Amino acid sequence: MLNYYKTYKGTKHSLFLPCFILSSILFMTACVEIQSNNINTTSSSSDTIEKLPAKAKNVILFIGDGMGISTITAARIFDGQSKGMKGEEHALAFDTFDNLALIKTYNTNAQVPDSAGTATAIMSGYKANIGAINVRPGQKYEGCGDIPAIQTLTDRTLSAGKSVGIVTTARITHATPAAMFAHADNRDWESDNEVPKEAKEAGCKSIAQQMVDSEADIIMGGGSSKFSERQLETLKNNFVFTDNNADMKNFKGGKLRALFSKSHMSFEVDRAKTKQPSLAEMTETAIKNLETNQKGYVLMVEAGRIDHAHHGTNAYRALTDAQALNEAVIIAKEIADEETLIMVTADHSHVFTMAGYPVRGNPILGLVKTIDQITGLPSENYDKALDGKPYTTLGYHNGPNLRINNDKPLTNEIVQDKNYRQQTAIPMNYETHAGEDVALFGQGPGSENIRGVMEQNEISNVINIALGFD
C-alpha cells in the first residue's frame, strides 16, 4: 500500500488495479471515492497510509493568471526578440525546468473555468464551482462557519510551523490570491459592501476582512479600495504596513501587509517604479524574509494582469506582464535555496492564438510576412487575407476589436503599439478564458510528481507530498 502512495503518479494511471486486487474494505472505499469524485485524491485515503518524510523545505508557486501555452510561446519569442534574437530559439526561465505536465482546468460545473474555481483546485486540492473560493459545490455558506470544510494552503502551511507569503499584481481580494486565505461562495464578495445581507447574517465575511484576519507572514498586492477605513487601520496597527516600493524593499522582520494601489497594480509597462514594485522585486523581498524561518515557507506569486490584458485583446501588455513573471522566476531561481520546489503554472488559458505562416524571426506583434514560394526568401510585402488587407500573427477568438470591411489597412506601426487591441472573430465586450489544458513546470525536490496529464487539484497534492503534509 505504501508503494501505491509513493508512486503517486503511477496511481493516477492505474487506479483500477489496486481497487480490484486489494481486498481491504477500507482501501476499496478509498478507490470508490477516487473513481466517483475526482476530488482530493489523496486525502480520502490518508488514514490508510503512513506519512512520508518531506522532500522539500519550501515551495514557491508562480501562477500566470491566464498564461495559456500560446501566451508562453509568444512571450518566449517576445522576450527573445527584445534581447536581439529571432526569438523562437529563446528559453524562458521555466522552460529549462526538469518536469512538466499538462493540467486539466475545468471547474466542477464549467467546461471553461474561472480563476476562483481553478485557484481553489491548485491551492486547496478541491475542484470547485466557477466563481467559488474554497467552498464545495452545493454547500451554501460553507466557508462562513468557524471551521470551514476546506483548509486553505495558508492554514496548512502555518500549522506545520512554516511561513506563508502571498504576492500578486492584482487586487489582493481578487480570486487567485483570495484562494490562499479566504472562503467565499462568490468571488465578488471582495469588500464588506459586496457581501449580501443574508450571507452576512449567516456569518460570511468579505474577502478583505478575511485578509485582515489572516495570519500569513507576507501579503502584497493592490486593492486598498476594497478595505474599509477600519480595516485599513487594523492593518496599520497590527502589521508592518506599506504602500510604496522603497518601504517594501527596506522591510525586515515582522509581518508585512502592502497595498500599492487602490485597485489592481499597474501593468508592467505603465508602472511608476518609485511607487509600485515589480513582481520580481516583490518576490525577492518575500523570499529574503520568509527564508529566515528555519522550518521553511510557502510563497504564492501571481502575475495577475496577464489575464486582464487578454480580456481587452491587448497582447502587448499580456506579453510584457508574462515577461515580468519570467523576471520573478529568474530571481527565485537565483536566491531560493536547494530545498525549494519551484512551480510555474496558469490557472486557465485564453482564446489567444499565434497563426498564419510568418517567417522565422517575424516580430511577434507584427504583421505577417511569409516565405516567397518562388525565391524561398521572406516576401517583400505583407501577406494579405481575403479582404485584401494585411493581418497579425497574434489574434483572439472573441473580444472587442472586430475589424470591419471599411477599416483602413493595418500598418506595423499600428499593430506594435502598446495600446493596440488584436483582431477577434466573435464580437464580445470582453475576450474570454479558454478551456484547453495549461502547463505546469516544476524544478526541485518533489517536482518529479509533475508529469503526464494531471487534474488541476493534483497540484495541491504535489505541494502536500513535497512538504510532507498529510
Give residues with Cβ within 8 angstroms of 135, minimum separation 6.
128, 142, 143, 148, 149, 150, 183, 184, 185
Going from the C-alpha of 391 to that of each of 11, 204, 422, the distances in angstroms are: 47, 50, 10
Which chain residues interact with Zn ion by CB under 5 A? 307
Going from the C-alpha of 300 to that of each of 64, 104, 150, 397, the distances in angstroms are: 11, 20, 18, 30
Rounded Cα–Cα distance for residues 326 and 95 (Å): 10
Instruction: Write phi, then psi, for 276 (nearest 5 degrees).
Output: -110, 135
Q: How far is the CB of 115 from Zn ion (least distance, A)?
A: 6
Cβ nearer to Zn ion, comparing 18 with 64:
64
Cβ nearer to Zn ion, comparing 162 with 350:
350
Give helix then strand counts, H and E, for the chain: 17, 15
CB atoms within 10 A of CB 83: 9
Specify whether the CB–CB gap between 103 and 462 falls below 8 A: no
Active site residue 266: no
In the set 43, 115, 206, 460, the catalytic residue is 115
Specify whether the CB–CB gap between 69 and 439 falls below 8 A: yes
Q: How far is the CB of 54 from Zn ion (least distance, A)?
A: 34
Cβ nearer to Zn ion, comparing 307 with 327:
307
Q: How far is the CB of 432 from Zn ion (least distance, A)?
A: 8
Q: How far is the CB of 433 from Zn ion (least distance, A)?
A: 6
Q: How far is the CB of 307 from Zn ion (least distance, A)?
A: 4
Number of alpha carbons in the 13 Å side-chain half-sphere of residue 32? 7
Cβ nearer to Zn ion, comparing 217 with 307:
307
Going from the C-alpha of 123 to that of each of 118, 260, 317, 322, 403, the distances in angstroms are: 9, 24, 27, 21, 40
Cβ nearer to Zn ion, comparing 148 with 304:
304
Cβ nearer to Zn ion, comparing 291 with 307:
307
Cβ nearer to Zn ion, comparing 271 with 305:
305
Q: How far is the CB of 410 from Zn ion (least distance, A)?
A: 26
Specify whether the CB–CB gap between 15 and 32 falls below 8 A: no
Grid cell at residue 215: 495570519
Residue nearest to Zn ion (CB): 307
Per DSSP, the three-state class of 463 is helix
Q: How far is the CB of 66 from Zn ion (least distance, A)?
A: 6
Handedness of CA 181, 187, 189, 195 (dihedral sign): negative
Q: How far is the CB of 118 from Zn ion (least distance, A)?
A: 10
Cβ nearer to Zn ion, comparing 11 with 70:
70
Pairing label, strands 451-455, 433-434: unpaired
- 18 φψ region: left (φ > 0), alpha (ψ -120 to 50), beta (else): alpha
> Alpha helix (H) ranges present in 16-63?
16-21, 25-36
Instruction: Write phi, then psi, for 107 (nearest 5 degrees).
Output: -85, 165
Cβ nearer to Zn ion, comparing 39 with 309:
309
Element at 303 (helix H, strand E): strand 297-303
Crossing angle (nearest 10°) for helices 315-335 and 279-290: 30
Burial class (CB in 10 A: 0-12, 13-18, 19+), 157: buried
Active centre residues (catalytic)? 115
